Amino acid sequence: MNTPPPPRLSVSGLEVAFGGLTALDGVSFEVRDGETVALIGPNGAGKTTVFNAVCGLVKPRKGTVRIGGRPAPSRPTGLLKAGVARTLQGLGLFERMTVLENVLVPLTALRVPDAVAKAHSTLAELGLADLAARPAGTLPYPERKRVALARALAADPKLLLLDEPAGGLGTADIDALAETVGRVAGSGRAVLLVEHHVDFVMRVADRIVVLDFGQVIASGTPEAVQGDPAVEAAYLGLEAAA
């Protein structure tokens, strides 16, 4: 009997504290290859802290983070080598560098053969080919977000972490983003996203994990989570019925 592969990402019993404040309290979930999982919750629920723990930017007090069955690397270069790429809510582009140069950054770090050709191919896939020579900082916000996504996708990550990918985008750009996320997951890669745009989440996610005050209060399909009273209470600030 064949043993199933380990989850691409496994978070187990994660606890993170900042001084006397507990930011995450026993958070556990998994993301498997070909699956899109969304982390949602009110502001301050702990979503970005989860991302930072996965990326080694904060050290958990308890719990484990495993990628492909192995302990998660603690350095950004190690994450790239482990097949993990992340976009940032603040984009994090090198604004004076060209679009092409931005996309080349992870490829250069990984010493990918034919890096320039690979970067051009990724830009073309996201409709950015004509902007390759433009300084990233001169582009409109939606196009800069696409550049950040192209940079994350260029190295063919096995796990893609998206931090507020739909934030600040209009309807047409959100539609294009949804298609891209679907294409990434359809190619067998795992996607974990943090997002406030609930309609977008319901459209792209296979499963949703809901955080509130650092704890998982619901987890399941979009349909199951949408009707959960605890989720409604967390978002509306009401007391959930016992």
pLDDT digits (tens, 9 = 90+) for 38-86: 999 988 899 999 999 999 889 999 999 999 999 998 776 788 889 999 9
242 pLDDT above the threshold of 60: no
pLDDT beyond 80 at 9: yes
Of 151, 150, 194, 210, nearest in space to 176 by CA: 150
Q: Can you name the CATH fold of 1-83+159-242?
A: Rossmann fold (3.40.50)
Say yes or no to pLDDT of 239 above 70. Answer: no
What lies within 8 Å, CB to CB, of 113 at 6+ separation is none
Looking at residues 12-35, what average pLDDT do you find?
95
Query: What is the reported pLDDT for 241?
Result: 40
Beta-carbon contacts of 171 under 8 Å, excluding residues fewer than 6 positions away, are none
| pLDDT reading at 3 higher than 90 | no
**HSE, side-chain direction, 13 A CA sphere, residue 83:** 16
* Least confident segment among 178-182, 196-200, 205-209: 196-200
Domain edges within the chain: 1-83+159-242, 89-156
25 token code pair = 């309290």
Residues 189 and 155 sit within 8 Å (Cβ to Cβ)? no
State the pLDDT at residue 2: 72
> Could you tell me what percent of the chain has a pLDDT over 90?
74
Q: Does residue 238 carry a pLDDT above 70?
A: no
Average pLDDT, the chain: 90
- Residues 94-113: pLDDT tens digits? 999 999 999 999 999 889 99
Q: What is the mean pLDDT of residues 185-198?
A: 93
Q: What is the pLDDT of residue 196?
A: 87
Specify the pLDDT at position 211.
94
Q: The pTM is what?
A: 0.90
Tokens of 4: 């199933």
Query: Quick check: 240 pLDDT over 50?
Result: no
Q: Flag whether pLDDT at 195 surpasses 70.
A: yes
